[in-house]
Structure formats: structure tokens, C-alpha cells
Amino acid sequence: MFYRPLYGEVGQARAAADAARARYAAELTREDVANLRCDIERLLMICEALWTMIREQHGYSDEELYRRVTQIDMRDGRLDGRVAPTPPPKCPNCGRTMAKHRPVCIFCGTPVRTDLFQR
């Protein structure tokens, strides 16, 4: 009987600590989301500026841009506003599957140029 109230207090203390950790994790997540939103806004401005320059200097039309975006979107067979991830490349020297985003084959050490737009 003496231990039951003590155990309850320990359990409450653990629950309070868990709640505090959860609040902290939620705050970090909110900050991450806010930072991502800022990054997206900045990238949208950069894309718009680049498109404006290309259109003005080279005479491309918005229709040509839409057509190209649709062409890229349809690479995976679905018009869904997303680009499908590319499979990891094969090493040109040993033919083994390479680790994504690695400039050197981990099996044979051959340097390999990766696609800038690989996902």
C-alpha cells in the first residue's frame, strides 16, 4: 500500500517528462516547417526571375514552359505534379548498383558524374 502512491508519482513524473519532450519536438517541427516555407518562397522567386529572364532574352512562351513541365511530369506515366524518383545508377566500370548521391563507386572507387536533378 505504501508503494502504490509512490509508483503513481513516478508515473506522473515520467508522463510529464514525455509531454515536455513532445512539446519540444513539436516546436522544432514547427520551426522546420517555417524554414521550409521560407525556402520554398525564395526558390519560387528565383524560378520566376529566371523564367522572366529566359522569356525576355530568348523569346520563349509560357505555353512552351507548360509543355516542358508536363513532359517532365509525365516521365513516370502520371500527370500528378511530381517527379518520380530515379533508380540508383550503375557504375560504368564494375556495373554494380551505386549508392545514390555518391560521386565515387563504393565497390571499385571509380568516380562517376551524377545527374544534378537525381531524386
Q: Which three cell numbers stand for residue 19?
A: 509531454
Give the integer Cα–Cα distance in Å for 60 and 54.
7
Q: Which candidate, 119, 83, 118, 95, places its Cα nearest to that of 108?
A: 95
> Which pTM does this prediction carry?
0.61
| Per-residue pLDDT tens over the stretch 78-118 | 999 998 787 888 899 999 998 877 889 999 999 988 777 77
